[in-house]
Each structure stands twice: as structure tokens, then as C-alpha cells.
Chains A and B, each alone.
Chain A
Amino acid sequence: MFRELPLATAHMRMRLRLSRLYLTLIGHAVVIVALAIILRLSGEQNWLPSCVGVCLLVQYLCLAVGGCNAIGYGISQEIKSGLLSFHRLTPMSPDAILLGYIFGMASRSYLAWAMWAVAGFLFWLPSAVSPLPYLAISGMIVLSAFYFQLVTALSTLMVPARLETKHKATSPSILLPICFPFVPVDTIFLTPIPLALQFFTPDNMAPDLRQWLLQVYFFQATWPAAVYSLFLLVVLGTLTYFVARYKIAFENRPAFSKRHALFIAFTLFVIIIGRTMQYVQRPDPIPGLFFYLVCGFSFITISFIFGIIPKRLLIRQHCVRLVEEKCRDPWWHDAAPAMQATLALVGLCIASQNIVAGLLPPVMQEMVRHSLLMHNGLLVVLAVCLVGLCEGCRIHFAKDANSVIVVVLAIWWLFPPILFTMDHGQVGHCLLGISPLAGFVSACIPDSMPQLVATTSIAVTSIAALGALFFRQKERHSLMRKLRENTDR
């Protein structure tokens, strides 16, 4: 794919100059030796495993926290100085730029990681256990750190640079790798992080190093969970990679391309199904799940919302074109697959909801009748809002035809609460969890009010869509008036 990564070379040349590096190298070496000596002298029986544990922890810190910081700060600097625009002009592919940044900017972290990885390996060797688990965990740490680095790169590309560079040396993005290890233990298998961090006490390591690590890392060695964890890491990582790559390629494009949107839709589907399966197998609902849901998916929600709201420039282009070419603003907009898709989807929602309700036993029907009516009403309002939003930003949707995004958004936000009203049992509960909004609200509201939760979810979505629509339309009308006045004069 790449013959070379010029940016990685350049950043490595800057960061790995020997004259500056030797302090880092010596520093890490001294800390490693000191660690071994202290643990040895402390009379700890299993001092070698403890050393391995600390080495693994520091590996994570170096790569995920240090690396993310370097990348977040570095990219925001490049955006601010205009170097990124410069690179966009070159024939370098977006992949080459993104990977160049990640490998180049975090090169010092990778070097430190390598030192600790080797040290950990040396501490491992005397235990006479196969080094395979150690290598597997180190690999997992690299993988998860790489994932966090991608997320950092993406969030830095999306958040305006001025927010990032207020605090000179750190990037807020490092909060993510720091926070994730604190996800509740029960749900940790759902997150793409090195679980070992939860258990870093030397006591744990004493009985049998290998068994312990397997247990902790791969969720009591139940392989489906471990595989799912890995799968999640790879899929979410790929997803993030594609979106970040897209942001580098098209600075001004607000939404993802159709291809990427399809990819996202597919990914979400797989994740949702997989997670639901995992969750259903467990005996009781876990509140911590909602924390994860809100954290992980709100990130994607935000990209979606940014995606469907048209940029000011696009509205302006549209208005200026209308005024310059003396066209009338068309009262209806003929090329909007997104709008058609939305209408079809909401129609489908209403129909399926009513059909399913009709199949229920009469007693149940009586129970859901009230909320069903309310939902139908709200869905109609929502349909009107979404169509209005599509109309308001016709220029955008007509160009990129991001219907898929709207579809994904609607499925993701609306279906679960709807299904939840059908089924109050466990399946319904975890479906509810899929909808970030409902998940968030239900985490705050007692379990006895699921209906309210689902209704709130739809209502809030409607209000948000209505708000976005209102502000964009207002802006558009005032701009149109100003432009018309200017040309009349």
C-alpha cells in the first residue's frame, strides 16, 4: 500500500535525534533497574512476576497515554500551523498522512514501550513458563494502544484546534485511555482495553502467572468473550481508522461517504448483535453497561449528528448560487434519497409497531395502547422534523446522498425503544441499552419507568432534530434576505 511514509520519517527525525534522546533512554533504563532492585529488596517472594506486571502497566502507560498525548498535541499543532493543509496538497494518500502522524509523532513512546517490553520479557524468562501469554498480552496492549491513538487522531481532527491547544503540552484526548480501565469489571469484556490493568496487584500474580494472566485477560478464559473482545477492538479500530482517514482527505465534507456509511452501518449491526448476545447470557442487567454505552457510542453519535447537519459554507453556497443565477428557491427538492429513506423508515417504524401490538394478547394490548398512541404521534413529528432537516440542507444531501447515515441513526436511536415497549424482559432491556439516549436516561431513572424512558428517547430526538432544523433554516433565510438586498441595490 505504501512504499514509504515520509511524514513518519520526518517526525522520527525530529523526535529521535540522538542528542535529545539519550536522556530518555538512560532515564527509562535507570527506572527499570531501580524497579527490579526495590522489588527484590522488599522481600517479596514473587518479585519477578511483580516486575512483569509493572512492566506491562508501564507499557500501556507509554503507548496509550504517552502516545495519545503526543499524537493529540502534534496533530492539533499541525492543524494550527497549516502544515496539515500543506500535506493535503501533496499526492500523499490520506492513509500515508494518518499513519505517518501516528507512527512518527508517537515514535518516542514506541521506543519507551520497546524498552519496557524487553525488560518485562527478561523478567519473565526465569519463570520457566512459555513466553506465549506474555507476548499475547504485549500484543494486546499494542493493539489497544493503537486503537486509542486512532481515536485520539480522529477526535483531534474533528475538534477545532483551538480547543485542543489551550493547554499547551497535553491533549484532552488522553482522558480516554485513562478512563477506560475504570469501566466496571463485569462489563469489561465489552471494551477494547487491556483488562490486565484492573488486576495489577502482585498477589494476583503469585499462584500461577500464566493462569492468572489468561484469566484476567481473557475473561475467565471463556474464549467466546475473549474473541469478541478482540473482534471489538479490531472492528472499532478499523471504523475509527476509516473515519479519521476520511477527515484527512476531505476537510470540508461534513459527512462520511456512502461507502463509509455502509461500513459503519454494518459494523454497528455486528457490534450490537454481538453485544446483545453476550449480555443476554448474563443473569441480571448491569448498570455499568450503560456507562460503556454512553461513553463509546456517544462519540459515534456526535460524528453522526455533525454529519447530517450541513455546514454553514454549504448553505451559503446554495444561497449565493440561487441569488446569482436569479433562481427561485425551489419549494420542493427533487434529489433527496436521504429524505425518502427517512420517510420510508419512519413509516416502517409506525407500521411494525402497530402490527406487533396487534399480535399481543388483549390484556397486553390494553397495556401498551397508551404508549403506542404517543409513540405514533411522536414518530410522525419526528418524520416531519427529519424531512424538514433534509429539505433544509438539500444541497448537502443531494450532493453526498448520505441516506445511509440517517437510516443508521434512526435504526439505532428509534428501534430499540420501540421494541422495548413490546418486551419488558431482558431482551427488551438490552435492546434499550443499544439506544444511547435511552440507555443514558434509563441509567438515571428507576427501572419501573421503561415506557417513559423510551418515550423520552424519541421525544428528545425529535426536539433535537427540530432545533437543528430551526436554526439552520433561520440562518438560511436571513442570509437569503441579506443577499437579495445586496443585489437589489
Chain B
Amino acid sequence: MNPIIEVDNLYVDFDNVTAVAGVSFSVERGHIFGLVGPNGAGKTTLLRVLATLQEPTLGKVSITGIPLSDHAEPIRRKIGFMPDFPPVYEELKVWEFLDLYAAAYDVPRETRRARCTRELERVSLMEKREALVGELSRGMKQRLTLAKTLIYDPPILLLDEPASGLDPLARKQLYDILLDLRQEGRTVMISSHILSEMDKFCTAMGIMEKGKMVSAGKLSEINQEQGKRRVRVRLLEEDGVQQKMHKKFPGVKSTTLEHDRSWTVVLSGDDRTLAAYNKHLVTEGLEVCEFTPLKVSMEDILIQSGATHVS
């Protein structure tokens, strides 16, 4: 499949900082790409470049195969960008705000009303239709901006921390919306801090750290690249087992005793290694009553890759 967003050796400089330093990655059509990284990693800057709001110092960016530097106009129509602090007109009514952007994006006058209704229903703001934007809560404004971003059906969505300020229910709703959008064949790039929830719907991920892309690709690829598996092991006896668990199996990176008296074992390797480790425990004479491979979460990847990067 050909990538819909391609970034090659991208640099973005501000007066005293290099916010993005040599980032290369690509996003394929129909994926939900999660962009994670600590504060100040350069996620917002990267998204702003893709949204054509920030001029890069160096590097090539192409969206749907069109180089960004040459033809911003056709690209802008394909992109829906939602910034981290979306500006709104406080004194407009909710439907008027949507109507403004529908008109700005050349949605025909006749279909505008239906579009507004459709998007307001999508983000569950229908009952606030006649309210002033300034009277909405922060989460509601966030949802309104999402509706504004969707109103002209852009095939690519760039969402900068859309879940901040949303309650758990609204977050769940947002993720459902994103999955729906994916079903419709759109590509979504989303930056977020709520990692544990992101791996429920992201299909690809990029990890940023100090302006660099530490790793990027499909989730399964990243897992493999990181090559770390975690297993929860519960044994009948607890004393003196660590030696047996740890020492004699070369793939084991660490063993930790958790509060519930189970062990979390970190292994490097694939499924075959897991099976071998299971066998190893049994042959060591340990009585295993639980052996559960843990799903590698984004959080682990982030922490691990961050750690590798620092070291």
C-alpha cells in the first residue's frame, strides 16, 4: 500500500530550539496513527507542519503524494486539523459556528443544515445547538471543534490531543468516532497522553522524544522491534524461586514480585521463547499455577524506548 503521509528528514527550528530534528516516517491509508511522547517532544510542531501551518526548516513532506512545499492548496482541503487548544468564536451559536466552516469549505448551502445536524449528532451536542459557544464546557468545546473538523469530510485527520478535557464516557465516544472514521476509510493521526487507551484503537504508532522519532510503524512491528515480552507467572511457593526463574534461562531480562505475589517476567524474544520459558519453569521443578503473556501496551513501549534513548 502506498503511504498517504510521507515525511522525510524533517527539521523544524524555532529561535532557540530545534523542535523536530530529522524525523522520517510514513502513514498508510486507513490507519490510525498514534503519536506519543513526553511533553515538548515536538508532537504539536510535527502536526502543525503537516497541517501546513508551520514552515519546516528542511525536509520533505508529501501528503497523498503531493509535496507540501509546492501545493499547499489542494492538500489543505484534504486535511482536517484540530489543534490542542482550538480557537473558537465565543459569541457565535453552536450551529452558527459549524455553518461558518461549512460555508468556508464550500459545502453547498442546501446541504449545510443537514451536515451540521449530522456532525452535532456524531459528537452528541445536538441539545446545545442553539447555545452560545462561550457557554459550553471545555470538553464540549473540544467536541464542537471535532465536529467542525469533520464537517467537510476530510480524508485525513490530524488531531492534537483531542481527548484532553473529555470525561471517560466522551473519550470512549471519541474513540468510537475514530474507529467509525477508519471504517469509512479515512486516515487519522492523533497525539495523546492517555496511552493506555490509545492502543485500543491505534493501528500504527510513532514515538517521539526530544524532536526525534524513536520508533515508528505498525503496532505489531514496533512490538517486535522492541522484542520484549512480559509474562505474569504465579507459583505455589515463593521462597528461593527467583534464582531458578531468572538465572538459568538466557532470555530473561528481569523478574519482579508484584503485590499480588505473582511475578512479572520480562523476556526478550518471540512466542517460541515464551513456550521455551514455560517448559523451563516446569523442568526446574517449579509449580506453575498461572502463566499469562501480557499484552505489550503503548506505555511499556514508550517507557522502554525512552529508557533506551536516554541510555
CB contact between A91 and one of B53, B55, B91, B105 (< 8 Å): that residue: B105
Say if the beta carbon of B73 comes within 8 Å of chain A: yes
**Closest chain A residue to B58 by CB distance?**
A320
B100 in contact with A9 (CB, 8 Å): yes
CB contacts (< 8 Å) of B106 on chain A: these are 91
Binds B, one of A78-86, A171-179, A264-272, A369-377: A78-86
A312 in contact with B100 (CB, 8 Å): no
CB contacts (< 8 Å) of A317 on chain B: these are 55, 57-58
CA distance A91 to B78 in the complex (A): 11
Question: Interface of chain B, helix or strand or loop or mixed?
Answer: mixed
B58 in contact with A321 (CB, 8 Å): yes
Say if the beta carbon of A333 comes within 8 Å of chain B: no
Interface centre among A9, A86, A92 (most CB of B within 10 A): A86
A6 in contact with B103 (CB, 8 Å): yes
CB contacts (< 8 Å) of A7 on chain B: these are 100, 104
Say if the beta carbon of B83 comes within 8 Å of chain A: yes
Interface size bracket, A side: 20 to 34
Say if the beta carbon of A286 comes within 8 Å of chain B: no
CA distance A82 to B104 in the complex (A): 16
**Closest chain A residue to B102 by CB distance?**
A6
A87 in contact with B104 (CB, 8 Å): yes
A window 303-323: CB within 8 A of B: 312-313, 316-317, 320-321
A82 in contact with B87 (CB, 8 Å): yes
Say if the beta carbon of A4 comes within 8 Å of chain B: yes
CA distance A124 to B87 in the complex (A): 47
**Closest chain A residue to B22 by CB distance?**
A324
B window 94-119: CB within 8 A of A: 96-97, 99-101, 103-106
B55 in contact with A4 (CB, 8 Å): no
CA distance A85 to B73 in the complex (A): 14
Given contacts A10-B92, A83-B87, A316-B57, contact A91 B15 (CB under 8 A): no
What are 14 pairs between A and B in contact, CB < 8 Å? A9-B100, A10-B92, A10-B96, A10-B97, A14-B89, A82-B85, A85-B53, A88-B53, A89-B52, A90-B76, A90-B105, A312-B15, A317-B58, A324-B58
Given A10-B89, A324-B11, 16 additional A-B pairs, CB 8 A: A6-B104, A10-B96, A10-B100, A85-B53, A86-B87, A87-B104, A89-B76, A89-B79, A90-B76, A90-B105, A91-B105, A316-B13, A316-B57, A317-B57, A320-B11, A324-B58
B interface residues, Cβ below 8 angstroms from A: 9, 11, 13, 15, 51-53, 55, 57-58, 73, 76-77, 79, 81, 83, 85, 87, 89, 91-93, 96-97, 99-101, 103-106
A interface residues, Cβ below 8 angstroms from B: 4, 6-7, 9-10, 13-14, 17, 81-83, 85-92, 252, 312-313, 316-317, 320-321, 324
